[in-house]
Structure 1
Amino acid sequence: MRKLNSMLLVGFAITALVTPTAALAEIPAPVRAMIDAAIGSGDENKVRTVIELARETSPEDAAELDAILAAYEVELAAEEAAAAQAEEERIRNAGIFENWSGKGELGAFRSTGNSSNTGITAGLSLKREGIDWRHKLIGRVDYQRSNGVTTREQFLARYEPNYKINDRLFAYALAQYERDRFQGFSGRYAVSGGLGYQIIDRPDLQLSAKAGPAYRVTQFLDGTSEDRLAALFGVDFDWDITDRLKLTHDTNAVAEAGGSATLLVDGRNTSLNFVTGLNAKISDDLSARFSYAIEYDSNPPPGAEQTDTLSRVTIIYDF
């Protein structure tokens, strides 16, 4: 069907181009030269502007000008269709290490005097967009020492593939690892899978939600462990407030340029990870980000608090 459509477009283009060529003789030579130059520039807006000006200054040539524009539009559509097909073929034939994009994030502080404090937060997120599949890899490290004593040491790694069922509905899978001995566990593993739905899909505003069953294993510092069935709920939100200011609230996006809201519910312990961030573009590749995180466990190990909060100011590099 695509091959037939391409052949029809080429046929229409040839037919349309032949007709205006004969009529071009009636258009004044300077006007024709301007139109040819605009078409040669490859700038669609320029072509339309020149033809519109020519129509205003030479209304008697309106029919010929309309024919030229029609032929140009047919040729433009054929070129766009060919480019789209070539891009689709490139994506389908890409290797496993191709078509990845990502963000690197870094923030740090150091203070001396009455107290000595050192802290670092670093994150990396990678995304690969395909025709039907999307893959996301996320990692984050938070580390802090105060007066020679480690007061924060948190690690996170996550992999999430999504499969597009249609324009709105998608299926997801999730594998996640966490370590935070100050919250009482040396390792916490979770896997989940389910369905998601794109509620709003606009260039400047996107909102989606997902839910599914989950299975979680927690290894405590005292050497004990527990495994439980759970349920996962998540919300993704991105809002381009301006060209340089963006508010994001992306599910499982602790290491991404914005925020996250992930809720894991089981019979013993409900966990909530909530991060909201505001990004301000410094340049095309660099952004500054302020984010606020809330991590809540309804039933933490003895001696651990239910709620942790963390504010971050970081620099993000897009690649």
Structure 2
Amino acid sequence: MRLALTGIACGALALPAPAFADLPAPVRAMIDAAIETGEEAKVRTVIELARATNPEDGAEIDAILAAYETQLAVAAEAEAAAEQERIRTAGLFENWSGKGELGAFRSTGNASNTGITAGLSLTREGIRWRHKLSGRADYQETDGVVTREQFLAVYEPNWKINDRLYAYGLAQYERDRFQGFSARYSVSGGLGYDVLLDEPVTLSIKAGPAWRRTEFVDGGSRSDLAGLAALDFDWQLLDTVSFTQDASAFVQSGSSTFISDSGLVAKVAGDLSLRLSYTVEHDTDPPAGAVKTDTLSRVTIIYDF
């Protein structure tokens, strides 16, 4: 582990080292040089070597290590406080991270064709609030005729109740004329829980009531109360390869919707990755003329920022 001691930690926050008269000067100089590098692993290695070669000075070496660990703790606290202050004072357009996708798809179901796909997802992490914005578009034309046109936009704010539990809100817009609707609006709110937080495996689940309004291509519309359940699973298989699984279900009277998106992501270079994904969307009671199940295979290049 490398922890760079800032000027604050090394200066104003550094604790005065006790004077040691018996420890040989070259040994003390070696320890001081290791501390100067700011590399914790190197410091601990040098101190262990000093202890092994100067066993009679073990108490003094232990005192040096204790003083060094105190400096590390003070520096870490200062760094954490500075990070929290940076987050609290960040402007509306600051502290966002995300990724963009661009590639091709192959679909089966209500339309069988190949086209282009693009997506964008943004996340803003705060002390208590987390905001997620995402959007996706799939589009294809054949001889000037649109054969696939699917759009999705989602906004999800989270309020962190504790390290794992959070309350969520959700506003979602969809458009897919080949599934029989010109617009579908979904609103939901409920609770989420981060079941697994530590890599290589993370898992988050959420559930709550929802309201959906569907506007059909034939001009009709309907509104329904529903229940939403969803999960987000990520598994870092290797340093450069990960598996992702997202699933959601809107359960309601009439047509319920179940979606599963499985992906394999491989780092290519720097912030660029290649993603292969397979999505299945099933509507239990689609409009007349539409089939129940659509599948979509995507190959995309991802840019992380």
Q: TM-score scaled by structure 2?
A: 0.90
Tell me the CA shift for residue 30 of structure 1: 1.8
Residues 15-41 of structure 1 deviation map (CA, whole Å, 9 limit, x = unaligned): xx343xx21x32222212211111111
Tell me which residue corresponds to 1:294. Answer: 280
| Matched-pair contact (CA < 8 Å) for 2:105–2:299 | no
Residue 274 in structure 1 maps to residue 260 in structure 2: yes
| Equivalent-residue separation in structure 1 for 2:242 and 2:68 (angstroms) | 38
Tell me which residue corresponds to 2:292. Answer: 306
Tell me which residue corresponds to 2:29. Answer: 33
Q: CA 1:18–1:36 in 2, change beyond 3 Å: closer, same or farther?
A: closer
How many residues are treated as equivalent by the alignment? 289
Which residue, out of 235, 248, 259, partners 1:262?
Answer: 248
| Matched-pair contact (CA < 8 Å) for 2:204–2:231 | yes
Tell me which residue corresponds to 1:155. Answer: 151
Tell me which residue corresponds to 1:165. Answer: 161
Tell me which residue corresponds to 2:3. Answer: none
| Equivalent-residue separation in structure 2 for 1:225 and 1:174 (angstroms) | 21
Q: How does 1:62-73 map to 2 (within 5 A)?
A: 62-73=58-69
| Equivalent-residue separation in structure 1 for 2:12 and 2:103 (angstroms) | 58
| Matched-pair contact (CA < 8 Å) for 1:179–1:186 | yes
Residue 283 in structure 1 maps to residue 269 in structure 2: yes
Residues 156-176 of structure 1 deviation map (CA, whole Å, 9 limit, x = unaligned): 000001111112211110000
Residue 103 in structure 1 maps to residue 99 in structure 2: yes
Tell me which residue corresponds to 1:204. Answer: 200
Q: How does 1:5-154 map to 2 (within 5 A)?
A: 14=15, 17-19=16-18, 22-23=19-20, 25-108=21-104, 119-154=115-150
Tell me the CA shift for residue 219 of structure 1: 0.7
Q: Letter of the 1:141 partner, please give it.
A: A
Residue 195 in structure 1 maps to residue 191 in structure 2: yes
Q: CA 1:46–1:157 in 2, change beyond 3 Å: closer, same or farther?
A: same
Percent identical: 65
Q: CA 1:150–1:12 in 2, change beyond 3 Å: closer, same or farther?
A: closer
Which residue, out of 234, 239, 263, partners 1:238?
Answer: 234
Tell me which residue corresponds to 2:8. Answer: none
Residues 118-167 of structure 1 deviation map (CA, whole Å, 9 limit, x = unaligned): 62100000001111111100000101223443211100000001111112
Q: Letter of the 1:318 partner, please give it.
A: D
Q: CA 1:291–1:18 in 2, change beyond 3 Å: closer, same or farther?
A: closer
Q: Letter of the 2:174 partner, please give it.
A: E
Q: Letter of the 1:198 partner, please give it.
A: D
| Equivalent-residue separation in structure 2 for 1:266 and 1:12 (angstroms) | 59
Tell me the CA shift for residue 248 of structure 1: 1.2
Q: Which runs of 5+ in 2 are unaligned?
A: 1-10, 107-112
| Equivalent-residue separation in structure 1 for 2:232 and 2:276 (angstroms) | 18
Tell me the CA shift for residue 109 of structure 1: 7.8
Describe the SS at the equivalent of 2:269. Answer: coil
| Equivalent-residue separation in structure 1 for 2:128 and 2:114 (angstroms) | 44
Which residue, out of 213, 219, 244, partners 2:209?
Answer: 213
| Matched-pair contact (CA < 8 Å) for 1:118–1:146 | no
Residue 317 in structure 1 maps to residue 299 in structure 2: no
The structure with the greater share of residues assigned to helix is 1
Q: Which runs of 5+ in 1 are unaligned?
A: 1-9, 111-116, 250-259
| Equivalent-residue separation in structure 1 for 2:187 and 2:138 (angstroms) | 23
| Matched-pair contact (CA < 8 Å) for 1:118–1:145 | no
Compute the RMSD of aligned alpha carbons.
1.9
Q: TM-score scaled by structure 1?
A: 0.86
Tell me the CA shift for residue 262 of structure 1: 1.0
Describe the SS at the equivalent of 1:26. Answer: coil
Q: Letter of the 2:270 partner, please give it.
A: D
